Amino acid sequence: MNRRLGIVLALLVLAPLVALAWLGARLQADARAEVVAGFDRVVDARLEATLATIERSMEERARALRDALRDFPTEPTAARARLREDARLSDVLVFDGERRVVFPPPGGPISDRERDFLQRTRGLWDGGAFAEVATAEGGARATPLGWHIWYWGGGLNLMYVAAGARGGLVAAEVDRVRLLADLVGVLPDTTESGPDERVALLDSAGRVVYQWGRRAPKGDEAPRRTRALPAPLNAWQLAWYGAPPAEGGDHLTRWLGLGAVGLALLGLAGWFSRESTRELRRAAQRVSFVNQVSHELKTPLTNIRMYAELLEDELADTDDRAERYVGIIVSESQRLSRLIANILSFARHQREQLSVRKAPAVVDDVVRQTLDQFAPSLAAAGVSPQLDLSAGATVRVDADALGQMLGNLLSNVEKYAAGRPVDLMTRQAGGVTTLTVRDHGPGIPKAARAKVFEPFHRLSNALSDGVTGTGIGLGIARELARLHGGDLVLEADEDGAAFTITLQTEEAA
């Protein structure tokens, strides 16, 4: 075979193979791009669903504020009385028909809190956003009702404006801590997501205020997808961190297929079709919509409303059902109060504002009062307290904080050790008070003991199946104990779980 013919034959063989190789590589790249695009669309859909949940939460808050501000009084004494009575309101501005502030009265007398409130909102009402504005049609003028935002104290602040009496306005400030707590309440649990993804809620400065998912942060990792929150929180955003499914494939199949033109085309077409289908299925599995919003804060309130309605229907009866319903309402109200106290304490701790106020008190009396509050729920769970109390001296301690610490421990006993006794023991010596709570439940696995005090951490094994909780109670209890100069520790115990609170409690003068 001459050299020229060999070159021609080689070209006739190599040219189709090279073309097929190029076509195969191109098809593979296109399939990969389609998989990534489909993956991003699914992630975007999940983020949009979360944004819709946040938007509904803000709409509910707006409706609640409109109801609270309806017929709000303009006279200072009546206005202050309304603020004390309505837990939905924090600080309020009242304007007359000329958009002049009538409450808090600028000319006084006013409290320090009211003076601070006027100072930090002056940019809004002193010739600012609350002035009437002309409409696009001309002469008529529009009233600036709804949400207003401004920046003060290093972050975004919200104000809701509603129509007041005789053409005036009423504006209510939204507490930032309570707003964040409400948002966390409707967002997924910290561990709810795929194995390699993380979703973060970022404030207007780009700081992470809440996040969920099992992907560990990786230095300066930039989010793959972001979405701005709906108004009025559109300066905040959701950020998704993760990577599309890893590229797979049997490259040997493609190269063997290049041996013949027909087999190569069929092999490559089948291979790419199979790979594309498999990658799309993996993407759908990884980002399946298994995220369910935690309604831990709303559950007790729902029970309260349900049993209140039942009580209203049963008041005419003379049996014990009405009394039982009342007991359930009281128990759930107390549980809701404890949950809110934990969240507010956690928020203060995050802002480094958590503190204790010591005053003369008897530790054993605090223990008994807390047990009285828990008596209905412990009885319902079949938990019988066994007391060994020896802390009867009057010492300086924050009784409310101690009650919160003990309450968090008893809540865990109620959840995980139902039907079993719980031992409570107190001791005092040398200015130190110890309180031990030991249950006889299934205990805490050794692998999980190092993490039980971490915020939002909850056991993922069968112990916690179907058990509600926010995962911050033990962490808050330990921080309160440390503020007393002591600590909260998990004792080594083969029978159930035992926690010991140690407090520095000097004797009261």
> Class assignment of domain 295-353?
mainly alpha
H helix and E strand count, the chain:
11, 18
Separation CA 191–CA 195 (nearest Å): 9
Q: Which secondary-structure segment (H or E) carries 395?
A: strand 394-397
As given in the structure block, the two tokens for residue 390 are: 């020896």
Alpha carbons within 13 angstroms on the beta-carbon side of residue 345 total 26
Rounded to an integer, what distance in angstroms lies between the CA atom of residue 431 and that of residue 363?
Answer: 13
Q: How far apart are CA 161 and CA 224, in angstroms?
A: 37
How confident is the model at residue 119, as a pLDDT?
86
121 SS3 class: helix
Q: Is the pTM of this model over 0.75?
A: no
Beta carbons within 8 Å of 490's beta carbon, 6+ residues apart: 444, 449, 452, 453, 497, 498, 499
Tokens of 191: 């561990």
**Cβ-contact 90, 175 below 8 angstroms:** yes
Position 354: which residue type?
A: L
By the 8 A CB rule, do 208 and 187 touch?
no
C-alpha–C-alpha distance, residues 359 and 403, integer Å: 14
Q: Give the separation between CA 177 and CA 344, rounded to whole angstroms.
A: 7
- pLDDT given for residue 96 in this prediction: 83
* pLDDT for the residue numbered 313: 58
How many other CB atoms sit within 10 Å of the CB of residue 296?
16
173's tokens:
């400030």
Beta bridge partners of 157: 150
* Whole-angstrom distance, CA of residue 435 vs CA of residue 426: 5
| pLDDT in the model for residue 450 | 73
Domain boundaries, the chain: 1-90+175-291, 91-174, 295-353, 355-504
Phi-psi domain of 377 (left: phi exceeds 0; alpha: psi -120 through 50; beta: other)? alpha
Query: Do 38 and 286 meet the contact criterion of CB atoms below 8 Å apart?
Result: no
Q: For residue 269, what pLDDT is reported?
A: 42
What are the Cα distances from residue 302, in Å, to 143, 189, 332, 431, 469? 36, 20, 9, 44, 16
pLDDT at 284: 39
Are 437 and 406 in contact by the 8 Å Cβ rule? The answer is: yes
Q: Three-class SS string for 128-148? A: CCCCCEEECCEEEEECCCEEE
Q: Does domain 355-504 have CATH number 3.40.1000.10?
A: no
List the chain pLDDT tens, one digit each, 509 residues.
Answer: 556 656 765 666 677 767 767 777 787 777 778 888 888 898 899 899 999 999 999 899 889 888 888 888 888 898 889 888 888 888 898 888 777 888 898 877 888 888 888 888 887 777 666 666 555 555 555 667 888 887 877 778 888 998 887 778 898 888 888 888 888 888 888 776 666 888 989 988 888 889 888 887 777 888 989 999 998 888 899 999 988 877 655 555 555 655 655 555 444 444 444 555 555 455 433 333 323 333 355 456 556 645 655 665 565 555 566 666 666 666 556 556 555 655 665 555 555 667 788 889 999 999 998 898 888 888 888 999 999 999 989 999 988 888 888 988 888 888 888 889 999 999 999 889 999 999 988 888 777 777 787 776 555 444 444 455 566 778 888 888 888 899 999 887 778 888 999 999 888 76
Residue 382, phi-psi category: left (phi > 0), alpha (psi -120 to 50), beta (remainder): left
- Report the Cα–Cα distance between both ends of the chain, in Å, rounded: 115
